[in-house]
Chains A and B, each alone.
Chain A
Amino acid sequence: MEETTRPQRVRVVLGDMPQARRTPPVRAELDQQTGVGEVLVRGLVRAQLGLAVRMAALVALTVGSLPLLFALFPVLAGVTVLGIRLPWLLLGVAAYPLFVGAGWIYTRGAERNERDFVELVERS
């Protein structure tokens, strides 16, 4: 073993825990969680959660309702589109673009919410 070429093994901190990292120097009013800052953060959390729940509901109502629909209206399961049975087409192909679409709308919306939040903070 060529010990000379090996860098010294050092002991390092592994998980980078909140105590170990410097506290992010955000605006003072946000840090202190008083009055305006608290309201701003709560508003941001509510906006982001609302957006996420709306997207989840969209997917639940479209893809998530399929088992129930097929159970209630067995006729639907027999419909053929482009030579393929509807359940196979919906679950095998159509579901995935829907997920990407919902994810894309959410990502754009979430980034917009964050921009609005930053603007509010910079102004106040």
Chain B
Amino acid sequence: MNVAGLVAVVAVTLATISLGLYGVRLARTTSDFLVASREVSPTWNAAAISGEYLSAASFLGIAGLVMKNGVDMLWYPVGFAAGYLALLLFVAAPLRRSGAYTLPDFAQMRLASPRLRSLTTAFVVFIGWFYLVPQLQGAGLTLGTVTGAPYWVGAIGVAVVVTANVAGGGMRSITFVQAFQYWLKLTAIAFPVAVLLLAWQADRRTDLAPPSAPTFRVVTDVDVRAPVRVELGEPVVVRVDGRLDGVERSGSVPLAPGVHEIGPATVTFPADAPVPHLVGLAVRDGVAWLTPSTTGETALFGVYSLILATFLGTMGLPHVLVRFYTNPDGAAARRTTLVVLGLLGTFYLFPTLYGALGRIYTPELFMTGNTDAVVLVLPGAMLDGFAATVVGGLVAAGAFAAFLSTASGLLVSVAGVLATDVLGTGDVGRSAGSVTGFRWAAVLAGAVPAVLALQLHGLDVSQVVGLAFAVAASSFCPLLVLGIWWRGLTDVGAAAGLLVGGGAAAIAVLLAVAGPELGGWPAALVAQPAAWTVPLAFATMVTVSMATRRRIPANVGATMLRLHAPESLRH
């Protein structure tokens, strides 16, 4: 039980709620609720976008993946940031000028088809929920690591706090909250790592990547709460207090190489002992960890697929697009995005360092498989006393801010879409809603992923997020890019592209999460689908649009003018 961590988590939650309440006093009408009346300044907006975007995957997941798999995983943060460059180049200003608040709005505005609108709504909800689940999982993991509370407490707790906040305040409050969250997260990742690097310096700069497989530096007590099956490479004598291979033990036990079942137990490993790792977790030795593993064809395919998914998927995430509506005009949307690129680039310098230090100072995470927790446990492992308390509390606060902000943003957009397109009373073209409708939609939007998060437990946070990106890149990216830059797009073509490309990516995602065990190329194609589903989506949209050329909207010229002409021409 870490008291400082608990205090930090409670403080962040209270600050989020009170900032939300402050916003409620300003939120009066539905338009206030949803778009903050477009009075948000670019700096606030950029901080809010970044705060909303830096999720559990960024704050915890990247460090965990780097610790486990090494340099290859740096493509995740690079791609997460590059996604905003793609958004800046192809989408930002025209999207703002379209006046669309959500993706269904954009589809409606560009192609005027109610059925296409419904289809995009379905995809927004699917991607939004799929992205919300790992946030709640991360919350469960954090609260569990910090307080020892069961997984469901954190997952459900965050779902309730965020739902209440969104239902009560809407977007106006969320803008303040999100901007605050960015600076909190940056502080919470940058300051602790500076302290940790000083500790590493004082530790005579231990080699971060010795050529061997990970070993325990010092005598280490590993507290295994839930039973795990681990694999051991070399024999080692350990002290066990608890269950080992189905027998209650207390005292010294020689462990032979091979598979052992441990837990619940406390196991004490001697210094320099090799770290047993979870069965199925491929731990790399120092050399493999340091170098890019792009030797095999499937590995190279996986890296490029991931790059494509993150580069093109960002623009299709529902909570990202909503933010562009709060810019006053297209040029401001561009400048905001540029500031976002800088803010995200600054943040992403830090998670890698946690991953590298984690290999040396918290190798026991390989044993429990909980590498996502490396950011949270590293301060306790490297520092003592007061420093460990303060720094540990700070990272816990940052992690919690990550779930709260991303989950809030996702919930606002999913609830907005549900309120207008599913619960809305008016006809689809003139989407109308009410404050009460939005509140009910928020409750519905929060309840479903909360239930899902309880069902799907042991998935890797960053990987699930990566799959959500793949679906977004194969559905909304082609819709936006072709819709903005190509006059020839038709409603039938767009729908076909969404169904074929987005559908293929969604099926691949479901197979990767819940399907049978695959190997070789089928596994690579399913685990990182973007490299084949994105071209498929673009090709389908273009081909079908060309075949249905008569359905090109008559006003496409006026729409293009509106998307691309600067606002100064609209006297």
Q: Do A and B bind each other?
A: yes
Interface window among B133-141, B287-295, B370-378, B522-530 = B287-295
CA–CA, A52 and B485, complex, Å: 11
Query: How many of B's residues come within 8 Å of A, CB to CB?
Result: 70
Contact, CB under 8 Å: B89 / A96: no
CA–CA, A26 and B336, complex, Å: 26
Query: How many of A's residues come within 8 Å of B, CB to CB?
Result: 63
Which chain B residues numbered 316 to 346 have a C-beta less than 8 Å away from chain A?
331, 334-335, 337-338, 341-342, 344-346
Asked if B28 CB lies within 8 Å of chain A CBs, one says yes
Min distance, Cβ B378 to any Cβ of chain A, angstroms: 18
Asked if B352 CB lies within 8 Å of chain A CBs, one says yes
Asked if B560 CB lies within 8 Å of chain A CBs, one says yes
CA–CA, A49 and B481, complex, Å: 10
Contacts of A95 in B (CB 8 A): 78, 81-82
Asked if A41 CB lies within 8 Å of chain B CBs, one says yes
CA–CA, A29 and B88, complex, Å: 29
Min distance, Cβ B127 to any Cβ of chain A, angstroms: 19
CA–CA, A21 and B341, complex, Å: 32
Known contacts A30-B569, A48-B564; decide if A99 and B294 are in contact (CB<8 Å): no
CA–CA, A115 and B106, complex, Å: 26
Known contacts A30-B565, A41-B557; decide if A17 and B303 are in contact (CB<8 Å): no
Known contacts A87-B71, A100-B345; decide if A14 and B30 are in contact (CB<8 Å): yes
Known contacts A25-B571, A77-B292; decide if A111 and B331 are in contact (CB<8 Å): yes
Known contacts A52-B90, A110-B334; decide if A96 and B291 are in contact (CB<8 Å): no
Contact, CB under 8 Å: A71 / B292: yes
CA–CA, A91 and B71, complex, Å: 8
CA–CA, A120 and B569, complex, Å: 11
Which chain B residues numbered 11 to 27 have a C-beta less than 8 Å away from chain A?
none
Which chain B residues numbered 276 to 317 have a C-beta less than 8 Å away from chain A?
290-292, 294-295, 300, 303-304, 307
Contact, CB under 8 Å: B349 / A38: no
Contacts of A107 in B (CB 8 A): 88, 334-335, 338
Residues of B within 8 A of A (CB): 28-31, 34, 71, 74-75, 78, 81-82, 84-86, 88-90, 93, 99-102, 105, 108-109, 290-292, 294-295, 300, 303-304, 307, 331, 334-335, 337-338, 341-342, 344-346, 348-349, 352, 419-420, 424, 429-435, 485, 557-558, 560-562, 564-566, 568-571
Contact, CB under 8 Å: B303 / A16: no
**What would 12 A/B residue contacts be, using CB atoms closer than 8 Å?**
A9-B434, A13-B31, A14-B420, A15-B420, A17-B431, A30-B565, A41-B557, A85-B290, A87-B291, A100-B342, A100-B345, A111-B331
Known contacts A11-B432, A118-B569; decide if A44 and B101 are in contact (CB<8 Å): no
Known contacts A19-B430, A107-B88; decide if A92 and B102 are in contact (CB<8 Å): no
The main secondary structure of chain A at its interface with chain B is helix
Contacts of B560 in A (CB 8 A): 41, 45
Known contacts A15-B102, A103-B88, A111-B331; decide if A30 and B561 are in contact (CB<8 Å): yes
CA–CA, A71 and B299, complex, Å: 10
Min distance, Cβ A117 to any Cβ of chain B, angstroms: 7
Contact, CB under 8 Å: B307 / A64: yes
Give the residue among A15, A37, A52, A99 with the most B Cβ atoms within 10 A.
A15
Q: Can you add 15 more A-B contacts, CB < 8 Å, to A48-B564, A91-B75, A96-B78? A: A13-B31, A16-B99, A18-B109, A45-B564, A55-B85, A59-B85, A67-B294, A85-B291, A99-B82, A99-B345, A103-B89, A110-B334, A111-B331, A118-B566, A121-B569
Known contacts A31-B558, A44-B565, A104-B338; decide if A12 and B291 are in contact (CB<8 Å): no
